[in-house]
């Protein structure tokens, strides 16, 4: 055996090396980057190629495809199919419905919305969960009792059903919660719903870790040096949670995106005319027998994004903590509960 | 055991109460817009809003409103805003389709999930295990949003092998009932098949290292007896809990989406249509009854689990 490099390399660079050795994960990380580039390029494609916005309707227009005039939407209300580059990139994937909106532009902007909601919701949920877990695990006593009970109640609810209710109530009436005010059509509504209901899945396992960490000698040493609760929580315990937080955050983006797709598909998430991959499926299913791509493509995009995030998250877990059985179990527990979405179970059991 | 059941029942009532309060807060307190205004529509006159407010009791104090809501739920008087159709009747009409869908799918996912998991575990590391692992992971990764349109397009529209769902009652025609449900069943089950086979496989691999398995081998039981009587039986215990949680979550989650995608006339489709029309009482009704059902199933599973695994209930009473 060659000498262990661990003496001169920090744990992070070791983890990075382990991650870089995982070719499958690298391939899927590449796929995720491609998806991000694809959705970020939305304005470029919209302005320079398709020459239309995501919500612009073209009900009575005609386009020239290879020198031939074609209706964007026929008299019977049937949208044009994929034109690829026949019309110079206009209606690359055809029109979305009788409203004649450019499917490709909507797919790109919709992906933007889906990713934005997924990432923001995961970020908010993770921050909330970490703060709650730190408070509960550090102070214990009634603080822990209150936080842990509240999380337990959310945990035992049929989360998707209640999330759906909240989503639709907010989509109709907006939100007013103290200083927090969101108007009715805003994308912050699904973000709010998703982040609230996903907090327990992150907070519960992290709370356990905080409980264990606060028994350790280095915490005792910090307290002996006169460190206050804030310093102990945030500069002693928090850094030790970093790898768990990174893994959960990655997996949580995937789950939030599925949650968003479910809400939007049923009309309780992103509100029309804005597009997200979930709402695009709702529109597309109506025309499944004539233009199957309209429903299948956004579904495929959701699957690829979620799959790549799950595989990357899983590889991160392996790389950051090769022996971490406890964490593995926490994630399994999360998947097992399956309450979050139409497919919360589909986190990575890879 | 009796003590355990009582504790579980008390916890269940607590959660049910929390559910009803949460649903009430969600619909009546959180929204910025007055519910009467929502009901009256965008261009309603203040007089109309006022009359609706009085008619539905939106001007009462929150406690009174909560009481009214709960009374309506228990007496079955919850009605949709316009037209006024009792929510209870609509939910009852949806029950056969929803239960046919979810129970059928559950049977399929348990059967195939456990079968694949078992085969995978007894051949761990071999080629069969690798193939089954691949299949499971693929199954886990395909969301219903993608699976349903793909199946519908190819099997219903292209080759017309299956009808475009719609629910046919079992008492009318059992054959058509099954034919209409095969695609939705499969759509709903695929994800769990993959998941359950992974879970059973990893449980079995863990159990195989237990001392009592070595003892069973040492006393000369055949490999098959060891696997079925000792390993499989003990690996199934966690699956029971998982199943209870999943079944509830499926009814209140994926099943709604599946019903919409296959236009099956169940509770989920009813809820989805209410969402589309911004009708709050039906969603409130479905959320409440659905949540009650899920919480009840979870409590039942807990009791069954305690019955199967004495460590659970002994642990509970020991900690008292």
* Domain at B212, CATH number: 1.10.3720.10
Please classify residue A71 by burial: count the beta carbons closer than 10 Å to its beta carbon, then call 0-12 exposed, 13-18 middle and 19+ buried: middle
Length of chain B: 320
Q: Could you tell me if residue B14 is inside a domain?
A: yes
Residue A63 scores a pLDDT above 90 = no
Res A344 pLDDT > 50: no
pLDDT in tens, B96-118: 999 999 999 999 999 999 999 99
Is B187 part of any domain?
yes
Domain boundary at B47, B75, B103, which?
B75
Is the pTM higher than 0.90? The answer reads: no
Q: What percent of chain A has pLDDT over 90?
A: 47
Q: What are the tens digits of pLDDT across the range A96-118? A: 988 889 999 999 999 999 999 99
The interface predicted TM-score (ipTM) is 0.86
Chain A contact present for B27, CB below 8 A: yes
In a domain, B80, yes or no: no
Cβ distance of A299 and B150 shorter than 8 Å: yes
Residue A145 in tokens: 């009792």
End-to-end CA distance of chain B: 14
Q: What is the mean pLDDT of chain A?
A: 85
pLDDT in tens, B48-93: 888 877 777 777 888 888 888 888 888 888 887 767 788 888 888 9
* B19-to-A32, A159, B118 alpha-carbon distances in Å: 38, 10, 38
Q: Are A256 and A118 in contact (CB under 8 A)?
A: yes
For residues B186 and B51, state if they share a domain. no
Position A1 scores a pLDDT of 46
Structural domain count, chain B: 2
Q: What is the pLDDT of residue A195?
A: 94
Of the pLDDT bands very low, low, confident and very high (cuts 50, 70, 90), residue B312 is low
Domain of residue B10 covers: 2-75
Q: Are residues B269 and B209 in the same domain?
A: yes
The answer to whether residues B223 and B277 belong to one domain is yes
pLDDT of B20 higher than 90: no
A149: nearest CA partner in chain B: B15
Whether residue B113 sits in one domain with residue B28:
no
Q: Which of these three, B75, B103, B133, is where a domain ends?
A: B75
Question: Residues B208, B118: one domain?
Answer: yes
Residue from the list B14, B191, B242 with its beta carbon closest to the beta carbon of A346: B191
B165 part of a folded domain: yes
Instruction: Give contacts of A263 with chain B, Cβ < 8 Å.
Output: none
What's the confidence (pLDDT) of residue B320?
32
B154 with B287, same domain: the answer is yes
Optimal mutation site among B14, B146, B187, interface A, most CBs of chain A within 10 A: B146
Among B42, B75, B108, the domain boundary falls at B75
Beta-carbon contacts below 8 Å between A and B: 202
Question: Which one-letter DSSP state was computed for residue A2?
Answer: P
- Structure tokens, B253: 């989650």
DSSP one-letter code for B157: I
B68 vs A325 pLDDT, higher one: B68
Residues B52 and B179 in one domain: no
* A110-167 per-position pLDDT tens digit: 999 999 999 999 999 999 999 999 999 999 889 998 998 888 888 777 788 888 888 9
Main-chain phi, psi angles of B61, to 5 degrees: -70, 160
Residue A300 CA: distances (Å) to CA of B143, B145, B209, B258: 9, 9, 40, 17
Say yes or no: B201 and B240 in one domain: yes
**Does residue B114 share a domain with residue B257?**
yes
CA B160 vs CA A51, B151, B165, B181: distances in Å: 39, 11, 12, 14
Task: Give me the pLDDT at residue B124, please.
Answer: 85
Q: Is residue B88 part of a domain?
A: no
C-alpha separations of B84 from B78, B116, B272 in Å: 9, 49, 17
Same domain, B159 and B233: yes
Please give the Cα distance from B7 to B306 (Å, whole number). Answer: 12
**Hunting for tokens 């070719």 — which residue is that?**
A23
Q: Which residues of A229-243 are buried (b: 16+ CB within 10 A; e: fewer)?
A: eeebbeebbbeebeb
Cis peptide before B83 (omega within 30 of 0): yes
Residue range B167-176: average pLDDT? 86
- B277 and B203: one domain? yes
Whether residue B123 is contained in a domain is answered as yes
- Domain match, B43 and B177 both: no
* Contacts of B173 by beta carbon, 8 Å cutoff, 6+ apart: none
Tokens of B187: 């759509």
């Amino acid at each position: 055996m060659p000498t262990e490099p661990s003496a001169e390399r920090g744990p992070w660079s070791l983890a990075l090396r382990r991650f870089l050795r995982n070719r499958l994960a690298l391939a899927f990380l590449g796929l995720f980057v491609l998806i991000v580039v694809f959705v970020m390029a939305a304005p470029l494609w919209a302005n320079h190629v398709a020459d239309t916005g995501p919500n612009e309707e073209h009900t009575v227009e005609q386009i020239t495809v290879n020198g031939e005039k074609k209706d964007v939407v026929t008299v019977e209300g049937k949208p044009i199919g994929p034109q690829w580059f026949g019309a110079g990139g206009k209606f690359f994937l055809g029109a979305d419905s009788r409203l004649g909106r450019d499917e490709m532009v909507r797919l790109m902007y919709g992906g933007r919305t889906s990713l934005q909601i997924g990432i923001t919701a995961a970020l908010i949920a993770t921050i909330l969960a970490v703060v709650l877990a730190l408070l509960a695990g550090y102070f214990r006593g009634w603080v822990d009792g209150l936080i842990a009970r509240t999380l337990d109640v959310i945990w035992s609810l049929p989360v998707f059903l209640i999330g759906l209710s909240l989503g639709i109530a907010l989509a109709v009436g907006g939100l007013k919660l103290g200083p927090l005010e969101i108007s009715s059509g805003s994308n912050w509504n699904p973000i709010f719903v998703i982040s609230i209901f996903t907090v327990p899945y992150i907070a519960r396992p992290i709370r356990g870790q905080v409980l264990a960490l606060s028994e350790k000698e280095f915490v005792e040493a910090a307290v002996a040096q006169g460190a206050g609760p804030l310093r102990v929580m945030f500069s002693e315990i928090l850094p030790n949670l970093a790898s768990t937080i990174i893994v959960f955050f990655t997996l949580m983006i995937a789950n939030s995106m599925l949650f968003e797709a479910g809400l939007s598909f049923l009309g309780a998430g992103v509100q029309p005319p804005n597009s997200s991959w979930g709402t695009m499926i709702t529109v597309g299913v109506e025309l499944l027998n004539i233009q199957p791509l309209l429903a299948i493509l956004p579904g495929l995009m959701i699957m690829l994004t979620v799959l790549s995030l799950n595989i990357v998250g899983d590889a991160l877990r392996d790389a950051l903590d090769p022996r971490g059985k406890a964490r593995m179990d926490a994630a399994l527990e999360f998947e097992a509960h399956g309450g979050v979405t139409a497919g919360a179970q589909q986190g990575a059991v890879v | 055991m009796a003590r355990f059941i009582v504790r579980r029942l008390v916890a269940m009532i607590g959660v049910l109460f929390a559910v009803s309060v949460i649903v009430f807060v969600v619909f009546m307190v959180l929204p910025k817009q007055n519910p009467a205004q929502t009901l009256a529509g965008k261009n309603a006159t203040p007089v109309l809003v006022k009359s609706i407010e009085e008619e539905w009791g939106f001007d009462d104090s929150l406690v009174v409103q909560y009481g009214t809501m709960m009374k309506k739920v228990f007496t079955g008087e919850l009605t949709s805003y316009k037209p006024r159709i009792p929510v209870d009747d609509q939910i009852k009409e949806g029950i056969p389709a929803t239960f046919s869908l979810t129970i059928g799918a559950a049977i399929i996912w348990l059967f195939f999930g456990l079968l694949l998991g078992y085969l995978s575990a007894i051949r761990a590391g071999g080629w069969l295990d690798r193939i089954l692992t691949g299949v499971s992971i693929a199954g886990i990764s395909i969301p219903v949003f993608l699976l349903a349109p793909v199946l519908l397009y190819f099997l219903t529209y292209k080759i017309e092998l299956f009808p475009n769902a719609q629910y046919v009652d079992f008492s009318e025609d059992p054959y058509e009932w099954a034919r209409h449900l095969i695609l939705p069943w499969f759509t709903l089950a695929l994800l769990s098949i993959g998941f359950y086979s992974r879970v059973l496989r990893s449980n079995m691999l863990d159990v195989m290292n237990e001392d009592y398995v070595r003892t069973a081998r040492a006393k000369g039981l055949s490999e098959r007896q060891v696997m079925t009587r000792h390993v499989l039986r003990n690996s199934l215990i966690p699956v029971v809990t998982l199943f209870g949680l999943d079944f509830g979550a499926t009814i209140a989650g994926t099943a709604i989406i599946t019903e919409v995608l296959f236009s099956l006339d169940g509770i989920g489709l009813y809820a989805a249509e209410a969402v589309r029309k911004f009708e709050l009482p039906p969603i409130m009704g479905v959320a409440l009854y659905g949540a009650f059902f899920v919480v009840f199933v979870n409590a039942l599973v807990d009791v069954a689990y305690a019955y199967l695994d004495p460590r659970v209930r002994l642990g509970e009473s020991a900690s008292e």
